[in-house]
Amino acid sequence: MYREFGISDETLKLAADCEAGLRDIFAEADRIAEYNQLKVLHAMQKNRVSEECFRTSTGYGHNDYGRDTLERVYADVFRTENALVRPQITCGTHAIATALFAVLRPGDELLCPAGRPYDTLHEVIGIRDSAGSLKEYGVSYREVGLKEDGSFDYDAIRAAVNDKTKLVEIQRSRGYSERRSFSVAEIGELIRFIKDIRSDILVMVDNCYGEFTEVREPSEAGADMVAGSLIKNPGGGLVPTGGYICGTDECIRQCAVRLTAPGLGQEIGANLGILPAFYQGLFMAPVVVAGAVKSAALASAVFKELGFFVTPGPEETRHDIIQAVRMEKPALLEAFCLGIQEAAPVDAFVTPVPSPMEGYADDIIMAAGTFVAGSSIELSADGPLRPPYTVFYQGGLSYYHGKAGVLKAAERVRAAL
Ligand SMILES: *Cc1c(COP(=O)(O)O)cnc(C)c1O
């Protein structure tokens, strides 16, 4: 079948050798998936998920039993007091922006102690001027970069905290940067450090791409809120749209009135009949994430063998599903993306080209042929057109699909070298 798929014996042999070297890494991913599968199952049973939960609601969505139960399930999975899990949260950026606007007031300061946040948040915060940003509402922003070795700069963080500091945002995943992703243990240590300086400072973790890559979530390590997208990890590839915020009851209530309206809060929001996918996607997510983690490790090993700088390295412990490969040349970045596109079940015949994109400063090239538009828990690769032309590979609903993508990308890149 691989030959029919255009994969040379040489590339296939390379992948087989890499897989053999990754046996322990794969076993660890399976062990994490096994734990998280039971975590999700237990949360569903504890909250008595029943057929009643799959009913459609329309209009205001008052007394939506399925929606309310799903939010209790999420709260239990993330070990928080409350959760907001909604199709009305349009994406990850919206979930994070909702959390920021929910707790920050004019005169407050937002602190990012672990480097610049994800591109789409720059306009939310006002790092790039934008209508409706936190900056426009009189919320100031402070940032502390990482140290040379990628660790937290604790001295600088201590110096950056002041009387106005209200909320700290920490991004778990690397996003479109080459920094490491942070483990839940590292994030927990940073949270303890900040709460030791002032215990009333709130901490929100951008959990995008990190969910279920470890047995614990940042909300189990002291974060007041974690937020993310349902067309990434926790949607398991099945959720058509939405986002989540899990956290303390007080924070989530504030998020709910920001999302809907003061006085309405969490009580409204019709489910429009798509709740079964929310439950089923969460149920599948641990296994889907394990497949994505394994194929990311394979991509790392294969492209390292081909001579590229990869991060994380094949044997490094992973805290998100993203694999970065420094392609060095625009043509190689495009070749990688073409290979991923050719491995898609949908739109395999189209050629990805770089173009401007809402919320991003540079042109972006994106390869994906997904069942859910824009879903990046499905096999996808993207990167901004700026040196060193790093491609970010992620997703794959099964390991075998991820592997097919890695092999096609390797074939295309080798031809373009
Ligand atoms: C994807 C992502 C976001 C934003 O999510 P969207 O759903 O694309 O709006 C934020 N932070 C990180 C780290 C991400 O990977």
pLDDT at 240: 98
Tokens 């990167």 belong to residue: 383
Whether 410 and 265 map to the same domain: the answer is no
Residues in contact with ligand 1 by the CB-under-6-Å rule are 91-93, 118, 120, 171, 173, 175, 206, 208-209, 229
What confidence category does residue 175 fall into, taking pLDDT thresholds of 50, 70 and 90? confident
How remote is the C-alpha of 241 from its chain's centroid?
Answer: 14
Indicate whether 201 belongs to any domain: yes
Which pLDDT tens digit goes with each residue over 129-162? 999 999 999 999 999 999 999 999 999 999 999 9
Whether 252 and 307 map to the same domain: the answer is no
For residue 83, report the distance from its CA to the centre of ligand 1, in Å: 19
- Indicate if the pLDDT at residue 360 is higher than 80: no
Indicate whether 1 belongs to any domain: no
pLDDT at 119: 87
- Indicate if the pLDDT at residue 379 is higher than 90: yes
- Indicate if the pLDDT at residue 361 is higher than 90: no
HSE-up of residue 412 (Cα within 13 Å, Cβ side): 22
For residue 64, report the distance from its CA to the centre of ligand 1, in Å: 28
**In the predicted model, what is the mean pLDDT of residues 290-295?**
98
- Estimate the crossing angle of helix 65-77 against helix 275-305, to 10 degrees: 40
Tell me the three state secondary structure of residue 352.
coil
Of the listed ranges 116-120, 274-278, 395-399, the one predicted with least confidence: 116-120
Q: How far apart are CA 334 and CA 352, in angstroms?
A: 8
- Residue where a domain terminates, one of 232, 248, 279: 279
**In the predicted model, what is the mean pLDDT of residues 254-279?**
97
Whether 24 and 82 map to the same domain: the answer is no
**In the predicted model, what is the mean pLDDT of residues 103-119?**
96
Whether 68 and 165 map to the same domain: the answer is yes
Residue 211, number of CB atoms within 10 A of its CB: 30
**In the predicted model, what is the mean pLDDT of residues 161-169?**
98
What confidence category does residue 102 fall into, taking pLDDT thresholds of 50, 70 and 90? very high
Which is the closest atom of ligand 1 to the Cα of 206? 11
Strand arrangement of the beta sheet that strand 82-86 belongs to: 82-86, 243-247, 225-229, 202-206, 165-171, 109-112, 140-143
Whether 31 and 144 map to the same domain: the answer is no
pLDDT at 362: 87
Residues 6+ apart with CB under 8 A from 42: 76
- Residue where a domain terminates, one of 255, 279, 303: 279
Whether 344 and 402 map to the same domain: the answer is yes
Considering only CA atoms, which residue is closest to atom 13 of ligand 1?
175
Whether 306 and 399 map to the same domain: the answer is yes
For residue 120, report the distance from its CA to the centre of ligand 1, in Å: 7
Indicate whether 161 belongs to any domain: yes
User: Count of domains in the chain?
Assistant: 2
Which pLDDT tens digit goes with each residue over 19-65? 999 999 999 999 999 999 999 999 999 999 999 999 999 999 999 99
Indicate whether 4 belongs to any domain: no
pLDDT at 358: 78
Which is the closest atom of ligand 1 to the Cα of 174? 13
Whether 287 and 178 map to the same domain: the answer is no
Whether 243 and 352 map to the same domain: the answer is no
Indicate whether 348 belongs to any domain: yes
Exposure pattern of 148-161 as b/e (b: 16+ CB <10 Å)?
Answer: eeeebbeeebeebb
Indicate whether 411 belongs to any domain: yes
For residue 68, report the distance from its CA to the centre of ligand 1, in Å: 25
Tell me the three state secondary structure of residue 339.
helix
Indicate whether 361 belongs to any domain: yes
pLDDT at 357: 85
**In the predicted model, what is the mean pLDDT of residues 344-367?**
92
Q: How far apart are CA 308 and CA 272, in angstroms?
A: 47
What confidence category does residue 348 fall into, taking pLDDT thresholds of 50, 70 and 90? very high
pLDDT at 163: 97
Tell me: cis bond preceding 276? Omega within 30 of 0 counts.
no
Choose one of 170, 207, 208, 364 to mutate for the ligand 1 pocket test, by most ligand atoms within 8 angstroms of C-beta.
Answer: 208
Indicate whether 172 belongs to any domain: yes
Q: What is the CATH number of the domain that holds 310?
A: 3.90.1150.60
Whether 184 and 74 map to the same domain: the answer is yes
pLDDT at 387: 94
Amino acid at 233: N
For residue 229, report the distance from its CA to the centre of ligand 1, in Å: 7
Residue 144 burial (10 A CB sphere; 0-12, 13-18, 19+): buried
Whether 294 and 329 map to the same domain: the answer is yes
- Residue where a domain terminates, one of 279, 299, 323: 279
Considering only CA atoms, which residue is closest to atom 2 of ligand 1?
208
Which pLDDT tens digit goes with each residue over 226-251? 999 999 999 999 999 999 999 999 99
Q: How far apart are CA 19 and CA 13, in angstroms?
A: 10
**In the predicted model, what is the mean pLDDT of residues 311-334?**
97
What confidence category does residue 176 fall into, taking pLDDT thresholds of 50, 70 and 90? confident
pLDDT at 339: 98
Which pLDDT tens digit goes with each residue over 6-23? 999 999 999 999 999 999
What confidence category does residue 200 fall into, taking pLDDT thresholds of 50, 70 and 90? very high
Q: What domain range includes position 23?
A: 9-37+282-416
Whether 268 and 122 map to the same domain: the answer is yes
